[in-house]
Structure 1
Amino acid sequence: MESRKKSILCVDTGVDDALALCYALSHEDLDLIGICASYGMATVPKTYSNTKHIVNMMGREDIPVYMGSEKPLSRTREYNGMFHGMDGLGNQNLPDISGDAQPEESIEFIINSIKQYGDDLQIITTGPMTDMAKVLMRFPEGTVPTFTLVSMAGAAITPGNSGPYGEANAKADPEASKIVLESGVNLTMVGLDVTRKTLLTKENLEVWQGYDTPMAHVLSKAVEFYLAEYKKYHPYLAGCALHDPLAVGVSIDPSLVTTIPMNMTVTTTGEATGNTIENLDKVAEKPTTKVALLVDADRFMKDFYGHVNAALQ
């Protein structure tokens, strides 16, 4: 299966990144060789520390964590605490364990992994695409590195969640997203079209609140905050979307989603900044992106909750 490729998970931890981490770290079919944590849902020292805490609580200290970019390629990043809190995990303010980690150390790790594993490597991104853009910019112009990329990013035919057009990860650094989507790499775009069909509910949270482990306590508090924000801003959903975990699920089992082939780009100016749309300049060229439009939500959620429930006990 494609899932047995060597895998790198790029996060910006973040509540749903925390869920994705628990899922990935507990899954027997994902061969994780490293995790990269960039800015995104909080500043990079916080997202890196959050990631390290989760890796440690899951007993997976064997997997290295690398610090990623601290800001977008050419924009500033402001934090308002919505959905994830100012620390990324619902304002729990876990101790800073960023230590001697340095921003962008992830770039060399990813480049070296691409050179070492090539087609046997898959990279899963659940945050801004800044790190991936910097990686691709390091290869000679016209060169398309051979690896598989699965990204929780974008919205093809559904409204955005960061304004009416943009999905949050794509919009966080639209210039970087444009570089990645136009690069020609073998990419599966797992966007809002499918992630909104997968849910975590109050009933799921209550199960985790009954577990007496450090990871269950931290994740439950984060999800409680997240659910309250979803109820406030997205009351039409019966819970919160499993955005980032679904990208991990698709990296393990691509058959979870139905895709259409399309060359994509990202709008970088005006009201529609962050919008992921078909690249008309390449409409006559062979598509390199698979855009997920349908998901077997029940099968995914059964696997997700099966692994995470077991890991939290």
Structure 2
Amino acid sequence: MKVILDTDPGIDDALAIAYAAAAPEIDLVGLTTIYGNTSIHQASRNARYLVDLLQLDIPVARGAEAPLGASDFRSAGIGHGSEGFGDVIEIPDLGVDHPQSAAEYLVQMAREHGEGLTICTLGPLTNIADALALDPEFARMPGRVIVLGGALGGGGDVSETAEDNMARDPLAADTVFASGLPITLVGLDVTLKPLYGIADFAVLSAASPRVGGFLNRAVQSHLNFFCVTLGIDGCGLQDPTAVVACTHPQLFKTIETGLRVITEGARCGATIPDPDRPPVAVCRDMQTQAVMQELTSRIASLH
């Protein structure tokens, strides 16, 4: 399958991109970048660095630098460090961005590949909303859109009700869920179930010194954030879990419901069911060990 990852690298994004590069089911067409874990400048630089590290010949199209209606965005750097890759702070600025914006690139690729294209979003949904604004027919072009985000079945991670990607641009998220795009939502209901600890990253580092070694170095402060700040024994695999949902949907249990994102007030960013909206496949459970094994085996094969 042809896949575009819309990404804000990000340590877990790096794991997700590495998995996509290794998975034989995926023909990785390109990366589009978005603010989120970092600024848009850092996100694009980090994406181009990963393209080089993974020896990929794909474009990186730079996306939105701020939420809809905002003029700027400042990342707090919490959990991902000042440059996005934890304690790895000397990241070379390699290559150049694609001449098209992320929205333009997404629309062009959707026109070319149609239902053969899967878009997997790992950050705020601003680029997807921008693509819809650029061409309303975009909603009927791609075969699947896998969205990482939301907390339909429980608490959020940035507030009691809101998940980070939805909360950063709730207007964009609500626009996307209203569009009729063929969406599968992979939210906190499932992505905090697989936890990678110190030993898991050590396995990747030993098996794949170049790629796994980089991931192991980058993740140490992220692990500390999860263990010390959140009290979780290991870091969640949010972004890579969403990419496994692209390649192995049979490992995930879903329900169908329309969705709405609250755009203002105390519950801003909360994702709630709305039966009057187009149906979305919402992941509610998965085969956790099988997902973790798939991630480990594929990333460990990278040399």
The TM-score normalised by the length of structure 1 is 0.91
Aligned residue pairs: how many? 301
Look up the equivalent residue of 1:303 and give its one-letter code.
E
**Counterpart in 2 of 1:242?**
237
Going from structure 1 to structure 2, the CA distance change for 1:102 and 1:302 (only over 3 Å counts) comes to closer
Distance 1:234 1:68, change over 3 A: same
Among 3, 17, 20, the residue aligned to 1:24? 20
Contact residue 110 and residue 138 of structure 2 kept, 8 A: no
1:66 correspondence with 2:61: yes
Q: Which runs of no fewer than 5 residues in structure 2 stay unpaired?
A: none
Is 1:299 matched up with 2:290? yes
Query: Residue type of the partner of 1:290?
Result: A
1:97 pairs, out of 81, 90, 93, with 93
Q: Which residue identity is paired with 1:187?
A: I
2:218 counterpart residue number = 222
Deviations 1:55-98 (Å, cap 9, x if unpaired)? 111111x1211111111112343322211012111142233426
- In the alignment, does 2:114 pair up with 1:123? no
Q: Which amino acid aligns with 1:306?
A: S
Deviations 1:17-64 (A, max 9, x none): 01101100111111111111111100111111111111111111x121
> Share of identical aligned residues, percent?
30
1:99–1:9: structure 2 CA closer, same or farther, 3 Å change rule? same
> C-alpha separation between the residues in 2 aligned to 1:118 and 1:295?
28
Alpha-carbon offset, residue 208 of structure 1: 3.4
Aligned to 2:74: 78
Give TM-score scaled by structure 2 length: 0.93
Contact 2:208 2:300 in 1 (8 A): no
Equivalent-residue separation in structure 1 for 2:194 and 2:100 (angstroms): 32
Of residues 100, 104, 108, the one that matches 1:108 is 104
Gaps of 5+ in 1: none
Residue 214 of structure 1 and its aligned partner are, at CA, apart by 3.6
Give the C-alpha shift of residue 213 in structure 1.
Answer: 3.4
What is the letter of the counterpart of residue 281 of structure 2?
A: K
Question: What is residue 202 of structure 1 aligned with on the other side?
Answer: 198
Distance in 2 of aligned mates of 1:230 and 1:66? 31
Q: 1:260 & 1:241 partners in 2: Cα distance?
A: 22
Aligned residues: CA RMSD: 1.9
Superposition deviation, residue 105 in structure 1: 1.3
Shift of 1:167: 0.8
2:246 corresponds to: 251
Q: 1:167 to 1:21 in 2, by over 3 A?
A: same
Kindly indicate whether the alpha-carbon contact (under 8 Å) linking 1:208 and 1:309 is maintained by their aligned counterparts in 2. Answer: yes
Give, in whole Å, the separation in 2 of the partners of 1:271 and 1:78.
Answer: 21
Q: Secondary structure at the match of 1:118?
A: helix
Q: Is the 8 A contact 1:166 1:274 kept in 2?
A: yes
| Structure 2: distance between partners of 1:32 and 1:124 | 11
Corresponding letter in the other structure for 1:268:
T
| Structure 1 residue 209: Cα displacement | 4.2
CA offsets 1:202-240 (integer angstroms, 9 cap, x no match) = 1112223446734333211221111000012221x3211
Q: Which residue in 2 is equivalent to 1:169? A: 165
Tell me how far apart the structure 2 counterparts of residues 206 and 7 of structure 1 sit (CA, whole Å).
Answer: 29
Asked if structure 2 preserves the Cα contact closer than 8 Å seen for 1:149 and 1:185, the reply is yes
SS at match of 1:290: strand
Kept in 1: contact 2:146–2:185 (CA 8 A): yes
